[in-house]
Structure 1
């Protein structure tokens, strides 16, 4: 299994693979309550050899790995299943930790929390949690590139898009083109909370 370089040194990649295989075999053996002697006897290798395999001190053949997998009740593919999986890069924003932003014309009773940010120079989408709690506020209309999706969480609102007005209650959703004038028309029941997700097919312009 192990490859060597021109000077006879084992490659770093092979060491990483042997450590992964060794750790996986040990974890499976311990999970099933088996001793090194139990597994070594089933596979037909010495206890010392199995110990070396688990500690990445030696390479072994695919035939032996297949026997080890069988003794541990898994397939050979299972031993390699989680090897070399790319690192995750998900962004977690905890409750009440969204970045508060101010959009043009919204000064009071209208709060935007951006739920994902730092996405690089080209933004593909922006998800907002929007809260409204002042019925006397006069809301501006908005226009922006892309498509917007709204999902009502709490309260009730009349929302205008172009020449049409829509009544939104909890559980309702609305999808529309962002380049057509839109915005809250009337706050029906306070407080109001809804998710607004803007998807950009092209780079958004700065307001």
Structure 2
């Protein structure tokens, strides 16, 4: 690897307004300027959102003077697998975005929206103000703490549909710890070789390195709070 987001020099090209600021903050100011001035994507559907996030990932990689194959190897992917993410052809697993945010030393909000969070003491996200994060088929994530700078956990509201016999949810795994609290309906949690049925008001704290998946039980959709600690 030739550099990290904190070590790389300025990317070749036009400086953002205000001059060439050094360090990571300068890189991020450049990325925001570049996005507003040059990148044009359609954000009216999921594919457009994927393309927008993919463009930010590509810009961060280029700022770090990294080739695709270098970043792919760092993430434990083949170059072809990584290329599908960077080209916006494949939905991003939440764990993939967390790993990139940690690698580039940026906030997850920066990857999702292109805007850095601005509140370091407290933040309020009103009903309906959450950021939609559609990362897994069958799951709708809503980020509800995106305004807070340097947060150590990632709380999200998740809406899931019922599991079908012919299309069970894919098991996923990621680092850290995770907490689920059922807000509405019933949730079936598949955790390794075991399954648990959670009712409204029940909670589940677990090691997410174990492959897991959540789906709604009882033939209808459900909602739960997830808190992920990378």
- Which category describes the TM-score, using the shorter chain as reference length? 0.3 to 0.5
Greater C-alpha radius of gyration: 1
The TM-score normalised by the length of structure 1 is: 0.47
Which has the larger share of strand? Answer: 1
The TM-score normalised by the length of structure 2 is: 0.43
